[in-house]
A = this chain, B = another copy of it.
């Protein structure tokens, strides 16, 4: 199963760390800005500094799309580089896509087949039927938004349906109805540890992608305590800017890997 790709890597190097490759051009060191492929060259540098601690890389599409076709090219080159040099590291396209079925077929082709990602993040609003082109891909992972990390996440996600909040319904649907090909994960923000704990109870052993540690302020300890599954796994702990824009990405990645590891030994 495709989900094993992440688990095998995570067990092998004993790390649940995911690094977000979000190389916003304005924030890059000057020496990279001057290059022909600034985002690719920066990513290559980050990957070489951090890969020994990393089980997943997660580029966010927004960082590349803002550069138009040049950004797409740098992203495609990054993916090619990862497949060649580090084929055992799990790759997540943080694109938050979600359209009707016909268009989702095109997005699935673009992200899984052209760019070659293992996984993509998706919106649940159009329902399972619309997401079929992603969910049918047994060789790829659909990571569906459940409880997001932003401050105003609750505006819709906390609405109550027969005593259950919308994010609870979404978690139930994904784990019981949408995951028939054993290829679903959920996005749950580190900034809402209580909800994270509830979602863990609903979804059993399913893996949760957890953004929001680092600059967004989520606590590693709380996330680990509430979010791990029975195998002390089931989490992809994602940090982006706090690592890639630090003066020493390697040291920052190692520190976070260690902090995560420490709480998985409880």
Interface of A with B (CB < 8 Å)? 24, 60, 62-63, 65-70, 72-73, 76, 94, 96-101, 103-104, 106-107, 109-110, 114-115, 123-130, 145, 148-157, 159-162, 166, 169-170, 173
Contacts and interface: CB of A to CB of B under 8 A. Distances in A.
Contact of A125 (B97, B125, B149, B169): B125
A60 B103 contact: yes
Contacts of A157: 125, 127
Contacts of A159: 161, 166, 169
A114 B149 contact: no
A170 B103 CA distance: 23
Contacts of A115: 68
A129 B157 CA distance: 13
Of the listed residues A66, A73, A145, A154, the one surrounded by the most CB atoms of chain B closer than 10 A to its CB is A66
B129 A151 contact: yes
A99 B150 CA distance: 9
B110 A127 contact: no
A110 B148 contact: no
23 contacts: A60-B103, A62-B104, A63-B106, A65-B106, A65-B110, A66-B109, A67-B114, A69-B76, A72-B72, A100-B148, A100-B149, A101-B150, A124-B125, A124-B156, A126-B150, A126-B156, A127-B154, A127-B155, A127-B156, A127-B157, A129-B155, A130-B153, A156-B173
Nearest to A25: B106
A65 B154 CA distance: 31
Nearest to A105: B62
Given A62-B99, A106-B66, A109-B66, A125 B127 contact: no
A40 B109 CA distance: 21
A202 B210 CA distance: 36
A129 B97 CA distance: 19
A104 B66 CA distance: 10
